Amino acid sequence: MTTLSTRNIGKAWTKEDISQLKELAKEKRVPLRIICLKLGRSPNGVRAKASEKGISLRRTNQSP
């Protein structure tokens, strides 16, 4: 049984995957772990693709 978080590991990124990554990254409060789960990619894979495409994964300050 494959887990949700690894369903796309090793597969090529589609335009839809990249578009979803951009949308999730725009929502500055979405943690990397959640982005990985939604995309079915590893954290290293998400970081690498974001860096390649110039997408910032930096979150806003979570302090109250």
Per-residue pLDDT, 8 = 80
d(Cα 25, Cα 32) in Å, to the nearest integer? 9
Q: Would you call 21 exposed, middle or buried from its count of C-beta atoms within 10 A (0-12, 13-18, 19+)?
A: buried
**pTM, entire model:** 0.79
Domain boundaries, the chain: 11-53
C-alpha separations of 54 from 18, 57, 58 in Å? 11, 10, 12
- pLDDT per residue over 1-55, tens digit each? 444 556 787 889 999 999 999 999 988 788 999 999 999 999 999 999 999 999 9
